[in-house]
């Protein structure tokens, strides 16, 4: 376990050598799974997530039968973690269906419902399957990012990117800061940092091109049963939105590049500008 002291030792560097506001390397692949209507694979450091999207299609199963929501489409999410995914080296007993996965599925559903134009898909259903292949912290946020990409790949119209990013409050005020206005807390924590005594917040936001929109912010607190004082929340939020903006830029670039590759060669040069 890494103590907060470590940061001091390393002249303000985090245990893996990043600075407080730096993200891990993000690698994106879209359209990796031909059979599905849309799919995406994302790597945020050692956190690796595969998402497939099926639909929109006729509702099946119990969700479909309920007539309550015929004016809007239904989103069905399933979050599962591979048994070999844990970075602590243990084996997970059940890949899905446990409390944590169910909670994640629900939270993911909320995030996706916020961005999909569901009103244009009455009486239909969209299935989103998330498979966490390797987990090294921030896995929920990475799966939100991957799900957004998979929706784009499936050609489902969305209002905005739903971008997830974590911020972890490390009990150490003397962190060397490039930007003091943003308060403290480190972005995109890996597994080691998530295990520290501090609080980790997973935040999903819908950032705009220019500024961050204030609506549709989902905040999920995790961590070792710690409480976060409300006075620290605003500064953490400022940081994490900054991180979301960065992730959005990266994803947006990846999407554009992917789409131009897929499109006619004549379009290639135009789109890049």
Partner 1 sequence: MLTTKIFFRKTKGGNVFKTVREHYLRNDIHCGSKACEKCMCKTRNIILDDEDSSVKSSKITEPYYLLIDTNIILDQIDILEEDVICNVIIVQTVLEEVKHRSSMVYKRLKNIITNPQRKFYVFVNEHHKETYIERNPGESTNDRNDRAIRVATKWYNAHLHLDDNKIKTVLLTDDARNRELAEKEEIPAISMEDYILSLENSAFLADKLCKKNYSAVCEGPEFFPCHLTPSELHDGIKTGKLQQGTFQASKENFLEGFVNVDGVEKSIFIQGRSSLNRAVDGDTVAVELLPEDQWSSPSDIVLQDEEETDVDNVLEVKKVIDKFDPSNKMQKTQTGKVVGIIRRNWRQYCGILQTSNIETNVRHIFVPAERKIPKIRIETRQYTVLCKQRIIVAIDSWPRNSRYPLGHFVRALGEIGNKTTENEVILLEHDIPHSRFSDAVLSSLPKMPWNVTDVDLAQREDLRHLDICSVDPPGCTDIDDALHCRDLPNDFHLLHHVITDLLSSNLCSLLEKVERLTFSCIWEMDKDANIINTKFCKSIICSRAAMTYDEAQLKIDDATQQDPLVKSLRNLNNLAKKLKKKRLDNGALVLASPEIRFQVDCETHDPIEVEAKKLRETNSMVEEFMLLANISVAKKIVEEFPEYAVLRRHPEPPPANFEPLIKAAKNQGFTMNVNSGKELAASLDECHKENNPYFNIMLRILATRCMMQAVYFISGMLQPNDYYHYGLACPIYTHFTSPIRRYADVMVHRLLAVCIGADATYPDLLDKKKNHALCQNMNYRHRMAQYAARASVALNTHLFFREKIQDEEGYILFVRKNALQILVLKYGLEGTLYLNKDKNSDVTFTYNAENHSQTCGNTVFRTFDPVTVQISLNRSNVQHEKLIFKLVKPFIPGFSVPAANAQSCRITVEEGTKETAKRKMETEKQQSNNAKGGGNKKRQKKRKH
Task: Point out which residues bind partner 1 (CB under 8 A).
Answer: 9-13, 16-18, 22, 24-25, 45-46, 87-90, 136, 171, 176, 190, 192, 197, 226-227, 229, 231
Q: How far is the CB of 11 from partner 1 (least distance, A)?
A: 5
Closest to partner 1 by CB, 22 or 113: 22
Are the C-beta atoms of 125 and 78 separated by less than 8 Å? no
Q: What sections of 116-190 are H helices per DSSP?
A: 139-154
Helix (H) / strand (E) element for 22: namely none
Query: What is the pairing mode between strands 26-30 and 125-134?
Result: unpaired
CB of 233 to partner 1, least distance (A): 12
Give the nearest distance from C-beta 187 to partner 1 in angstroms. Answer: 14
* HEC sequence for 32-90: CCCCCCEEEEEEECCEEEEEEEEEEECCCHHHHHCCCCCCCCEEEEEEEECCCCECCCC
Q: To the nearest whole angstrom, how small is the minimum distance from the Cβ of residue 273 to partner 1?
A: 25
Q: Which is nearer to partner 1, 155 or 225 (CB)?
A: 225
Tokens of 176: 């060397």
Closest CB 18 distance from partner 1, rounded Å: 6
Q: Given the complex with partner 1, which of 24 and 96 has the nearer CB atom?
A: 24
- Closer Cβ to partner 1, 101 or 196, answer by number: 196
Whichever of 25 and 63 has its CB closer to partner 1, that residue is 25
Between CA 154 and CA 74 the distance in angstroms is 16
> Which residue bears the tokens 């930007």?
179
């Amino acid at each position: 376990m890494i103590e907060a002291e470590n940061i001091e030792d390393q002249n303000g560097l985090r245990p893996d050598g990043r600075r407080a506001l730096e993200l891990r390397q993000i690698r994106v692949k879209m359209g990796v799974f031909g059979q599905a209507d849309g799919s995406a694979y994302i790597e945020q450091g050692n956190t690796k997530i595969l998402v497939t999207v099926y639909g929109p299609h006729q509702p099946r199963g119990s969700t479909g039968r309920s007539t309550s929501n015929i004016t809007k489409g239904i989103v069905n999410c399933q979050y599962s973690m591979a048994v070999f995914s844990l970075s602590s080296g243990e084996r997970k007993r059940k890949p899905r269906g446990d409390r944590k996965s169910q909670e994640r599925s629900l939270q993911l559903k909320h995030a996706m419902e916020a961005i999909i134009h569901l009103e244009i898909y009455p009486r239909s259903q969209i299935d989103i399957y998330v498979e966490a292949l390797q987990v090294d912290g921030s896995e929920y946020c990475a799966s939100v990012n991957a799900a957004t990409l998979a929706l784009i790949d499936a050609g489902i119209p969305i209002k905005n990117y739903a971008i997830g990013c974590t911020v972890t409050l490390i009990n150490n005020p003397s962190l060397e800061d490039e930007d003091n206005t943003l308060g403290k807390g480190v972005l995109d924590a890996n597994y080691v940092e998530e295990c520290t005594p501090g609080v980790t917040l997973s935040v999903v936001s819908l950032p705009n091109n220019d500024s961050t929109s204030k609506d549709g912010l989902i905040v999920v607190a995790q961590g070792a049963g710690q409480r976060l004082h409300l006075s620290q929340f605003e500064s953490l939020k400022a940081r994490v939105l900054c991180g979301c903006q960065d992730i959005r830029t990266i994803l947006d670039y990846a999407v554009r590049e992917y789409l131009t590759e897929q499109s006619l060669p004549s379009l290639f040069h135009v789109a890049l500008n």
